[in-house]
Amino acid sequence: MEKKTEKKEEIAEPPRQDISEDLMRQINEAADRLKAENDRFELNQKVLEAQRVEKMLEGKAEVKTPEKEETPKEYKERIMRGDI
């Protein structure tokens, strides 16, 4: 006869780390400050995006105008002046 052996696995509890109330309060305050800064950052991003859109709709977007192509005559005159 075969004996069935049942293995009981003991689940070890993770070691408990005692965190003082003062340290926990500091952690929570830091988390609150980070959340507030994140919210402020997101608001600033939305405002900047709205300003960019408004500027583009007004036609004042920063667009680089293409440089005028130099004609052969203008090139000759520039070379003769010594403006290289």
Please state whether the predicted TM-score (pTM) of the whole model is above 0.75. no
Measure the CA–CA gap between 41 and 36, rounded to whole angstroms: 9
Q: In the prediction, which pLDDT does 21 show?
A: 86
DSSP characters for 18-84? ---HHHHHHHHHHHHHHHHHHHHHHHHHHHHHHHHHHHHHHT----PPPPPPPPHHHHHHHHHHT--
8 A C-beta contact, residue 61 and residue 55: yes
pLDDT digits (tens, 9 = 90+) for 26-81: 999 999 999 999 999 999 999 999 998 888 887 765 667 778 889 999 999 989 99
